[in-house]
């Protein structure tokens, strides 16, 4: 593994292709580099200049007198691999390739150029970012190896001087978006550590940089803009590391829509996977998805400040001098899933001391402009925070100018330092002048968007609760000895498609209860099975060629006597054959007819596994019937799952409450369902290389204590083609 | 009706309570008034100053030598009524009461003061705004009769000089919020006509001002911040007037949450009604609800510019130089309910001429930075707009500075003028300097929030489609002669609660099909009814004291023979009596047992009417069972409804598709359901003064052509107490 620190925190830098012309990218980079006091040496490499912006230029990286850590490449794509080789030979340890014209272009030439880069990088163990990148900025070095105009102001410190913790690290495949997080966040007084724009990710990926930042000892919040994922196998371990460390990842994954996928595919040569699988991975590891740049930056502002003081619940106290603003914030909080409960009498009594008759301490606490002038927002927030009824406080204010806050600055600082609950400020007016700086210096994030403020508090409370639960969850137990091998043999011996009679033994190997069924080869066999099983029974044609059995008329239900069974056997197989022939030449391969006891009634569930190209087996669970078909009420998760994990997945269903029993129905056997999900997830995890798909549809969940019935089962192997 | 123009557009102004001290509200108002060149005279009225800010001050409004149109009152609450009387006597025509200390305070004293104001205003036909208000601004006068700091910059024109249409009028009960719309919108180069903050609305309400603005010949977009509604009967006509004129109302109504209702009630003495009723009114008249201040201002920006060029559909073309930004916008568009379809081949061929190999014309059109430099955003947007596949265009750009747009300014203007489709710009970076002004001057709204930009385009397309449908909808036909009178008599003769046997004749009067039922007084009566009706039948106890018949065990289903019916009659009445006695002394008033044919199976619907205190009868419709109980899938509407209106209400159900037949079920008889809804809505409208509640629960909707069955019916009169 190459050393990413040589890339992000080099001691010296060469710019290959440097130019003094600030109107072109090669010159913009030199200009931006010069805007900040990078303590190391910067060596322009140029064929046509002896000096650039006062720095001696070299013909080649080999001519540079010092061993350089990082080379920034801004030369035509076709020259990059050679230049990179020169770097490797000269002992350079890292390269940032700005040049475009690689895999993002149509055709194979770009791919080939990118392969060359990768080969050179591997040969010399170079840490390489890009190509097709806007570069990066290390705000703490400071080093701005980019042409982005967002960091070309020499008068603005890259990090607000009053911040020395809660650093935010950014990785983005899009340069414009990556630096826009900084562009939006810096005016909000947020401290960034790095902005890394990774472009095509020929070598190092966004995840690689996230992994590095998690260990750098500074970065505590990660922002990602993701178009695809180059090394999906690293996602789970890195996301888990972040979660365990309490360093939230806030990201957007492009490609939720078809048009978004088209854009991503063309833009950075990205192959975007199924969004539902990404979503499942995010849900599993508490990764927070952002809606837009402002939203992501605003959520980051909360975590940056309160990473170690997250709300322990969803109850918010609102303090304001504006009744209208307080009411709107209350609505915004409840829309975000928070609660705004009345305060307790003791707290109200303390607050009431300061309120005029037309104020109220109920919650929202409308201090009125008069009381706010008297006690200040800081002390008012402090009083509200004392209430045992709330886990956090939002102050709704007008931060148009700093005058009011200046008067109470010491109180604001004291409350921020002493309160053990997070306090966010939100202004309904835009800020002017130094209000933003002053409130942040005093210790508070200041929002100018009510929805984002409420949503941030909700995200922080959710993250805290999720992380607590995650850290408590015991490790997943491994599969019992022999089970995996037994199932593997069944799978290996089977054809590509396992009909129910073949699939259920695989399930049974994992301790999953399956119906007591018989495969009948003839009508008489089927009739005989009735005696063994007892009626009423169901008949189902078993054929890898007839998977939609109901549509094909290849299922009969509720049969109770031998003549009916014999007749049904024949008609079902005839139906199946006719159905198959409608779209195929030749007869279907019918293995027999499965004879099965009718399942008791129960709540219908669909349960399945699908192999995602990026993340492997994904479990899907949904309430059956209209819930899946009309309301699309399904949830996904990577596997395996613990019981608690399975419960969390179930909780994501909008209709979850139905399982608790509604309209006089008894509560369903949730424990049995969770047990089934856990075992199925273990099976899918153990055989991820073999199994493409498992469908248990439907599963009937009986009343509590009465278990579940798998009414149909299908397994498709990955070699099914 | 007093003359609101004397308030909003006075020729001369008196400030009663004026002060030279700009640190107090009485002086702030004088200061702010002086920041803009109001062409009329301003007369300070003060007991302690002879001159204020260079203006001669008067002891009383009676001393002013000119007849004054508007008096601004900033004096203690207890003096306001007298001062207002002085104004009336002096011929003043309007008053803006800034003073607080009225109904927003606890206790009755404030209410009484407010009643006094109202009496004086009526006596002298004064147009009175407030009290407890932050005043108002007429941006075109210009006149800023407020202490708001958002309009105290004499160097910034209140209206951007390049705008002379698309004016935005604001009314808000909260002063801070009202002026914050301007504070946010002015930097986005939006033209405002008025900001009116109405406070307690003792006399004129927000709706009164909206009504005025709709007729002022200037205002074309209305923003409202509403805590409650003082004259709800005016909402429907005013909202309809706005919709017919194509002047959208964009608003937030506080009190969606319980805490929000608490805040509103305390803040401006507002009694907030049920949010579902407000929502129903908004849906009925195409009123657009905003999520936060930024969102509302951003939506207004779109309408202000494109009121006469709204998108004719939901298909968006995206043009960008940033692949990442384009992809994110595509996702944002689809999340907002828009479509981003591939462009047609002819349009693509035109665009491809300008694209490098790594660009794409599919949609999003990633022009690449290179092509954008060459052709500019304007021409690129113009080319995309030519596609017959799109109804609108969004340009995703970095508007960090104006340099790029300056070079293509003429092209931008030309495309804006010539395109017949709306084009929005959205920047992923924040704007600096003049980019916002330049793009707006060229004719484009510029967004800095992707989500809001997409949501604005969706809101404009929805509004256009809704308005087209609304204008096409024929007028509601009136009830057939005699029907209303017949139902009125039935209702008048009935007690407060009409059980099913009493309610169905009222329904039948409106042509609603009801089951052929018999009220049986004895077991023998019930058994005899079987012969008349034919089995199987249902028995239901009819008692105004036992409304939860199923819970009480007062219903028997599917009875087919006389002995069973006799037995059931006795046990049901016993059950009903026992159930009633559990919580009441004395026996229930049992009118008999209803004998009714069993309904055929069908899709379960609940349908009802509830009288809302603000807006009168509200129709509710929902899919029955879990849809109501777990998923809360219900929709509300004011009455009466046309068939098309009823269809729109049904369309708001998330599970609406279930009625079309899913999982092999036949499509339900939608026509019969719509007919029932229309008739029920007419009944509710005709008897709004009498009926508090109608419950048809459940209604079974049979397969197409087979009608609906009302399985239970209840009417509660408004005098039920």
Q: Is residue B670 part of a domain?
A: yes
Average pLDDT over residues A238-249: 98
Scan residues 617-656 of B and list those with Cβ closer than 8 Å to A: 625-626, 629-631, 654-655
Residue B337 contacts A, CB cutoff 8 Å: no
Q: Is residue B496 part of a domain?
A: no
Is B266 close to A323, i.e. CB distance below 8 A? Answer: yes
Q: How long a stretch of residues is chain B?
A: 721
Residue A131 contacts B, CB cutoff 8 Å: no
Is B332 close to A428, i.e. CB distance below 8 A? Answer: no
**Is A551 in the same domain as A620?**
no
Task: Enumerate the H helices of A356-448 as residue ranges.
Answer: 368-385, 403-407, 409-418, 435-442
Average pLDDT over residues A462-485: 86
Low-confidence ranges of chain B (pLDDT < 50): 268-272
Q: What is the pTM of this model?
A: 0.94
Label residue A300 left, alpha or beta by phi (over 0 means left) and psi (-120 to 50 means alpha).
alpha
- Please name the member of B172, B363, B655 whose beta carbon is closest to the beta carbon of A630: B655
* pLDDT at A272 > cutoff 70: no
Q: What pLDDT, on the 0 to 100 scale, is given for residue B271? A: 45
**Is A89 in the same domain as A215?**
no
Radius of gyration (Cα) for chain A, nearest Å? 31
Q: Is residue A618 part of a domain?
A: yes
**Is B368 in the same domain as B465?**
yes
CA angle B432, B437, B438 (to 5 degrees): 100
Q: What pLDDT, on the 0 to 100 scale, is given for residue B632? A: 81
Residue where a domain stops, chosen among B582, B597, B612: B597
Is A322 close to B174, i.e. CB distance below 8 A? Answer: yes
Locate B121 and state its tokens: 């205003």
Residue recorded with tokens 């192997």: A717
Q: What ipTM was estimated for this complex?
A: 0.92
| Cα–Cα dist B643/B648, whole Å | 9
Contacts of A332 in chain B (CB under 8 A): 291-292
| Cα–Cα dist B302/B306, whole Å | 6
A with B: how many residue pairs have Cβ under 8 Å apart?
277
Residue recorded with tokens 């984002």: A452
Residue where a domain stops, chosen among B118, B145, B172: B145
Show the domain range for B176: 159-308
Query: What chain B residue is nearest to A334 in terms of C-alpha separation?
Result: B257
**Is A699 in the same domain as A711?**
yes
Task: Give the domain CATH number at B38.
Answer: 3.40.50.720
- Please name the member of A175, A180, A657 whose beta carbon is closest to the beta carbon of B630: A657
Tell me the shortest Cα–Cα distance from A298 to chain B, in angstroms.
13
- DSSP string for B384-439: HHT-TT-SEEEEEE--SSSHHHHHTHHHHHHHHHH-SS-EEEEESSPP-TTHHHHH
- Tally of structural domains, chain A: 5
Tell me the shortest Cα–Cα distance from B37 to chain A, in angstroms.
24
Percent of chain A at pLDDT > 70 equals 97
- Please name the member of B106, B629, B663 whose beta carbon is closest to the beta carbon of A357: B106
**Is B304 in the same domain as B314?**
no
Q: Is residue B490 part of a domain?
A: no
* Helix pair A206-214, A235-245: axis angle to 10 deg: 30
Q: What is the pLDDT of residues A351-368, one digit of tens each?
A: 999 988 778 899 999 888
Is B358 close to A101, i.e. CB distance below 8 A? Answer: yes
Q: What is the pLDDT of residues A399-445, one digit of tens each?
A: 988 988 999 999 999 999 999 999 999 999 999 879 999 999 999 99
**Is B353 in the same domain as B457?**
yes
Average pLDDT over residues A261-276: 62
- Distance, CA of B651 to chain centre: 18
Backbone torsions φ then ψ of A429, nearest 5 degrees: -95, 165
Query: What chain B residue is nearest to A180 in terms of C-alpha separation?
Result: B429
- Please name the member of B184, B252, B357 whose beta carbon is closest to the beta carbon of A106: B357
Q: Is residue B231 part of a domain?
A: yes
Q: Which of A172, A259, A404, A668 to mutate to test the interface with B (most CBs of B within 10 A)?
A: A259
Q: What pLDDT, on the 0 to 100 scale, is given for residue A268? A: 47
Is B263 close to A333, i.e. CB distance below 8 A? Answer: no
Contacts of A328 in chain B (CB under 8 A): 177, 225, 252, 254, 260, 292
Q: Is residue A672 part of a domain?
A: yes
Q: Which of A24, A185, A263 to mutate to test the interface with B (most CBs of B within 10 A)?
A: A263
Tell me the shortest Cα–Cα distance from B485 to chain A, in angstroms.
39
- Please name the member of A173, A335, A357 whose beta carbon is closest to the beta carbon of B256: A335
Q: What pLDDT, on the 0 to 100 scale, is given for residue B479? A: 76
Q: Is residue B153 part of a domain?
A: no
- DSSP assignment letter at B173: S
Residue recorded with tokens 């970012």: A129
**Is B351 in the same domain as B223?**
no
Residue A260 contacts B, CB cutoff 8 Å: yes
- DSSP assignment letter at B354: T
Task: Give the domain CATH number at A665.
Answer: 3.30.470.20
Scan residues 651-680 of A and list those with Cβ closer than 8 Å to B: 654-655, 657-658, 662-663
Asked if B9 and B134 touch (Cβ cutoff 8 Å), the reply is no
Q: Which of B25, B268, B328 to mutate to test the interface with A (most CBs of A within 10 A)?
A: B328
Beta-bridge partners for A701: A603, A708
Tell me the shortest Cα–Cα distance from B528 to chain A, in angstroms.
33
Beta-bridge partners for A252: A225
**Is A330 in the same domain as A458?**
yes
- DSSP string for B475-527: PPPPPPTTHHHHHHHHHHHS-SEE-HHHHHHHHHHTT------EEESSHHHHH
Residue A174 contacts B, CB cutoff 8 Å: yes
| Residue-averaged pLDDT of chain A | 93
Residue A551 contacts B, CB cutoff 8 Å: no
| Cα–Cα dist B31/B46, whole Å | 15
Residue recorded with tokens 């369903």: A668
| Cα–Cα dist A481/A470, whole Å | 27
- Please name the member of A259, A268, A291 whose beta carbon is closest to the beta carbon of B330: A259
Contacts of B237 (CB under 8 A, 6+ apart): none
Q: What pLDDT, on the 0 to 100 scale, is given for residue B269? A: 45
Task: Give the domain CATH number at B525.
Answer: 3.30.1490.20
Average pLDDT over residues A521-545: 93
Task: Give the domain CATH number at A333.
Answer: 3.40.50.261
Residue B78 contacts A, CB cutoff 8 Å: no
Please give the sequence-ordered ranges of beta strands (E in DSSP) within B179-218, or none if there are none.
192-197
Contacts of A338 (CB under 8 A, 6+ apart): A314, A315, A316, A454, A457, A458, A461
**Is B304 in the same domain as B319?**
no
Asked if B679 and B641 touch (Cβ cutoff 8 Å), the reply is no
* Helix pair B108-124, B77-89: axis angle to 10 deg: 10
Contacts of A322 in chain B (CB under 8 A): 174, 176-177
Is B325 close to A174, i.e. CB distance below 8 A? Answer: yes
Q: Is residue B346 part of a domain?
A: yes
**Is B88 in the same domain as B203?**
no
Backbone torsions φ then ψ of A446, nearest 5 degrees: -115, 120
Q: Which of A176, A447, A452 to mutate to test the interface with B (most CBs of B within 10 A)?
A: A176
Is A625 close to B663, i.e. CB distance below 8 A? Answer: yes
Is A324 close to B626, i.e. CB distance below 8 A? Answer: no
Query: What chain A residue is nearest to B107 in terms of C-alpha separation?
Result: A357
Beta-bridge partners for B618: B610, B638
Asked if B48 and B75 touch (Cβ cutoff 8 Å), the reply is no
**Is B654 in the same domain as B591?**
no
Q: What pLDDT, on the 0 to 100 scale, is given for residue A403? A: 87
**Is B85 in the same domain as B211?**
no
Q: What's the Cα-to-Cα distance from A375 to each of A369, A371, A380, A412, A425, rounded to whole Å?
A: 10, 6, 7, 11, 16
Query: What chain B residue is nearest to A356 in terms of C-alpha separation?
Result: B105
Q: What pLDDT, on the 0 to 100 scale, is given for residue A271? A: 45
- Please name the member of B252, B451, B625 whose beta carbon is closest to the beta carbon of A291: B451
Residue where a domain stops, chosen among B417, B441, B472: B472
Residue A292 contacts B, CB cutoff 8 Å: yes
In which element (H, E) is residue A95 found? strand A94-97
Contacts of A37 (CB under 8 A, 6+ apart): A142
Q: What's the Cα-to-Cα distance from B411 to each of B370, B381, B407, B507, rounded to whole Å?
A: 17, 10, 9, 64
């Amino acid at each position: 593994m190459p050393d990413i620190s040589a890339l992000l925190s080099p001691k010296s830098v060469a710019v290959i292709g440097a130019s003094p012309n600030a109107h072109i990218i090669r010159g913009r980079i030199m200009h931006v580099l010069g805007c900040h006091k990078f303590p190391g040496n910067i060596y322009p490499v140029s064929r046509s200049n002896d000096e650039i912006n006062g720095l001696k230029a070299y013909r080649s990286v080999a001519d540079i007198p010092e061993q350089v850590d990082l080379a920034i490449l801004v030369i035509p794509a076709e020259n990059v691999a050679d230049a990179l080789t020169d770097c490797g030979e000269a002992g350079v340890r890292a390269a940032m390739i700005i040049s475009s014209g690689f895999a993002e272009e149509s055709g194979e030439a770009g791919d080939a150029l990118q392969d060359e880069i990768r080969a050179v990088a591997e040969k010399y163990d170079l840490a390489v970012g890009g190509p097709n990148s806007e570069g990066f900025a290390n705000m703490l070095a400071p080093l701005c190896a980019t042409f982005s105009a967002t960091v070309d102001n020499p008068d603005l410190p890259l990090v607000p001087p009053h911040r020395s913790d809660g650093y935010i690290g950014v990785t983005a495949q899009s340069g414009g978006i990556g630096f826009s997080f900084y562009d939006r966040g810096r005016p909000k007084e947020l401290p960034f550590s790095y902005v890394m724009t990774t472009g095509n990710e020929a070598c190092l990926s966004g995840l690689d940089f996230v992994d590095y930042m998690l260990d750098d000892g500074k970065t505590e919040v990660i922002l990602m803009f993701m178009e695809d994922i180059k090394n999906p196998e690293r996602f789970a371990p890195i996301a888990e590391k972040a979660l365990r460390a309490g360093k939230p990842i806030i990201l957007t994954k492009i490609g939720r829509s078809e048009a978004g996928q088209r854009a991503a595919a063309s833009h950075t040569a990205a192959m975007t996977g199924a969004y539902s699988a990404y979503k499942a991975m995010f849900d599993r590891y508490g990764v927070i998805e952002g809606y837009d740049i402002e939203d992501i930056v605003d959520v980051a502002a909360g975590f940056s400040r309160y990473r170690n003081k997250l709300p322990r619940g969803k109850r918010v106290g609102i303090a304001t001098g504006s009744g209208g603003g307080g009411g709107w914030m209350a609505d915004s909080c409840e829309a975000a899933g928070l609660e705004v409960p009345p305060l307790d009498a003791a707290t109200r009594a303390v607050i009431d001391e300061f309120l005029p008759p037309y104020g109220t301490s109920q919650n929202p606490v409308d201090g009125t402009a008069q009381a706010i002038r008297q006690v200040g927002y800081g002390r008012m927030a402090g009083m509200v925070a004392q209430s045992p009824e709330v886990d956090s406080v939002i102050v709704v204010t007008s931060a148009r100018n700093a005058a009011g806050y200046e008067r109470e600055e010491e109180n604001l600082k004291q409350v921020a330092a002493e309160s053990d609950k997070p306090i966010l400020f939100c202004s309904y007016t835009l800020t002017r002048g130094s209000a933003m700086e002053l409130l942040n210096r005093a210790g508070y994030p200041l929002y100018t968007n009510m929805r984002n403020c409420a949503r941030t508090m909700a995200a922080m409370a959710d993250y805290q609760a999720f992380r607590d639960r995650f850290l408590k969850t015991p490790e997943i137990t491994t599969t019992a000895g022999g089970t995996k091998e037994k199932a593997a043999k069944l799978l290996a011996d089977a054809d590509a498609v396992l009909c129910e009679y073949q699939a259920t033994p695989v399930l049974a190997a994992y301790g999953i209860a399956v119906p007591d069924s018989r495969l009948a080869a003839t009508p008489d066999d089927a009739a005989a099975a009735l005696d063994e099983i007892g009626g009423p029974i169901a008949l189902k044609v078993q054929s890898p060629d007839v998977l939609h059995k109901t549509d094909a008329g290849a299922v009969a239900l509720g049969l109770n006597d031998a003549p009916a069974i014999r007749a049904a056997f024949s008609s079902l197989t005839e139906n199946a054959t006719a159905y198959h022939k409608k779209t195929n030449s030749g007869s279907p391969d019918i293995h027999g007819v499965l004879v099965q006891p009718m399942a008791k009634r129960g709540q219908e569930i669909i349960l399945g596994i699908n192999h995602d190209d990026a993340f492997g087996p994904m479990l899907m669970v949904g309430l059956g019937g209209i819930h899946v078909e009309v309301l699309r009420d399904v949830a996904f998760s990577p596997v395996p799952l613990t019981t608690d994990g399975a419960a969390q997945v179930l909780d994501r269903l909008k209709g979850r409450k139905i399982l608790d029993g509604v309209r006089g129905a008894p509560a369903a056997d949730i424990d049995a369902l969770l047990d089934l999900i856990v075992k199925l997830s273990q099976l899918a995890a153990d055989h991820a290389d073999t199994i493409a798909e498992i469908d248990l549809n439907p599963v009937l969940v009986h009343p509590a204590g009465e278990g579940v019935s798998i009414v149909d089962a299908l397994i498709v192997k990955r070699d099914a083609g």
